Amino acid sequence: MQVTDLFPEPHLLNFYLKQDPVIRPFFPLNYQNPADWNSILSERISFPADIRKTVHQVLENQNRGISPQVDRNLEKFKQENSVVIVTGQQAGFFGGPLFTLFKTLSAVKWCEELKEKFPGVNFIPVFWVETEDHDFQEIAWFRQPEKPVTSFNQSQEDRYLQIQYRKVPQVFESYLEEIKQELPKTEFFEPIWQDILTSLSDGSFSGSFVSLMQKWLSGFGILFLTPADPEIKKIGYRVLKTEIEAGILCNEVKKQSGLLIQAGFTPQVTPRTVNCFYIRNGRRYGLEFTENGRILLAGLNETFLPEDFLNETDSRPESLSPNVVSRPLFQDTVLPTAGVILGPGELSYWAQLSGAYTALGTPMPLVIPRTFGLVCEPPVERILGKFKLDAGQILLQPHLIESKITDETGFQAEKEFRQFWKNLEPYFIGVQNMTGGIDPTLIDSWTQLTGRTSQSFSQFFDRLEKTSRKKKETEISQLKRIRENLLPDGQWQERSVSFLYFLVKYGPDFITAVYNQMTCDPYFHIFTPSPKTKQENM
């Protein structure tokens, strides 16, 4: 099934995958065109040697010793013929939702494919860990199929506190216990649970995410970069300083947004007058220009003259943090990025950035849509077969399950009663007319009797439906299981189910199984987990 089948025609991703000429002003290069790859490679191979050396040292500090594959890629990164394929995500609990795994493996798969096409270039997968974000509730949850989301709530007093500075509180132990009870108890449970406990030993949520991802994906050679490192901030600082001095990103993104609107698309983001954050005591505050030209710290009601503000940040570049608009340019100033793996929402706001890349003199990488898919477990696959359905049908026709459930009841009380009463009603009306001709004072009595009769019939039809449903409840239950596995709460599985569940259910081979079934083609993949496991029944 093509990804374009799942997105409505107006969605920018649809036009991008088809490489419709309408998207060319927003994405000058085509990731499907080898000539465009040659173009970006020639630019990125000339990446400044001093920056490459500094970034390599940071990557060494954050990744060395994870695995032989990681160490080999660290060595390759130093070479001038090396470029990176970048993806990234927030530091979600226990590795985050399933699509985080898909994005990460997409970067590895693309490096593998590009190496075959351009053997003289080293392609290295890099995961940009978004630890400076402060939206804690977006990451603080766990979910497995057929069960509700289990969220961890913290005080809203620290709503500006960056995730990297959030410490694991003692009350988190009870939350962990809740997750522990939910997870399937397979042969893989104990070692994976120990991984989780070990990852939390430094007491930080973001540190736990990085530790788990590095361990579980160690064999794929991915380099994880936590960009809050002071040396990384020094390199990317020029992007943020330029924004404060000249507002280049704001102006260019506004221009591009206007072109998007003219082309019939809706811009994904609205640029701020200053597209970065200021960090104080681990808290991240938005910046805006006031009408009199001063810089305002959102949420603090403090203002500064721009020159005074820059004097401080010049001495402390780590006090600034990129926002959604500036992060891509910050990233590609720090890394020799040839391609970037994006989801549909990210792709939409990258369409607003090409003018900013040009204005800052930074090569815009080729934009590669991430892998989309779901995991169809064997029991669900068997149920689908029973009803002559497939997973792709469920995604293309999300109401199909509800229709099937209705069909399976065998009897619909409301529908059947309406038809029955429609046939019977003329007789009641006839008696009413006859009564009026004989004794009009009896019409009220007949009307009341008619109402009670209608109600009694309706109740009887309800009883018939309940009896019919009971006979069919097994089939209905199975159909609901399909829905709750593939479209929990009406959302795609990849966005709402944690990949930890599948890892515990099927073991480390699950990740390899997904990778082996993954392609670089724009398909919606239906992944089958490795069946050779000692596991609980669903």
Per DSSP, the residues of 123-186 read EEEEEEEE-S---GGGT-EE--TTS--EE----GGGTTB-GGG-B--TTHHHHHHHHHHHS---
Q: What is the pLDDT of residue 537?
A: 33
C-alpha atoms less than 13 angstroms from C-alpha of 243 in its C-beta half-sphere: 33
Q: What is the pLDDT of residue 422?
A: 78
Taking residue 91's Cβ as centre, other Cβ atoms within 10 Å add up to 26
pTM, whole model, 2 decimals? 0.86
Q: Is 90 helix (H, G, I), strand (E, B) or coil?
A: strand
pLDDT by residue for the chain (538 residues), tens only, comes to 888 888 877 889 999 999 999 999 999 999 999 999 999 999 999 899 999 999 999 999 999 999 999 999 999 999 999 999 999 999 999 999 999 999 999 999 999 999 999 999 999 999 999 999 888 889 999 999 999 999 998 766 677 889 999 899 999 999 999 999 999 999 999 999 999 999 999 899 999 999 999 999 999 999 999 999 999 999 999 999 999 999 999 999 999 999 999 999 999 999 999 999 999 988 899 999 999 999 999 888 899 999 999 999 999 999 999 999 999 999 999 999 999 999 999 999 999 999 999 999 999 999 999 999 999 999 999 999 998 999 988 888 888 887 777 665 566 677 777 777 778 888 888 888 887 888 788 888 888 888 888 888 888 878 877 776 776 777 878 888 999 999 998 899 999 999 999 999 999 999 999 999 999 998 899 999 975 443 333 3
Q: What angle do helix axes 509-517 and 499-506 make, rounded to 10 degrees?
A: 110
Q: Are strands 276-280 and 141-142 parallel, antiparallel or unpaired?
A: unpaired
3-state secondary structure 216-255: HCHHHCCEEECCCCHHHHHHHHHHHHHHHHHCHHHHHHHH
Closest alpha carbon to 266 in 527, 12, 530: 12
Distance of CA 515 to the CA centre of its chain: 18
Q: Which residues pair with 84 in a beta bridge?
A: 124, 337
Q: How far apart are CA 375 and CA 345, in angstroms?
A: 22
Contact 98, 90 (CB under 8 A): no
Instruction: Write phi, then psi, for 287 (nearest 5 degrees).
Output: -115, 145
Write out the H or E segment, with its range, that includes residue 475: helix 443-486
User: What single DSSP character describes residue 6?
Assistant: G
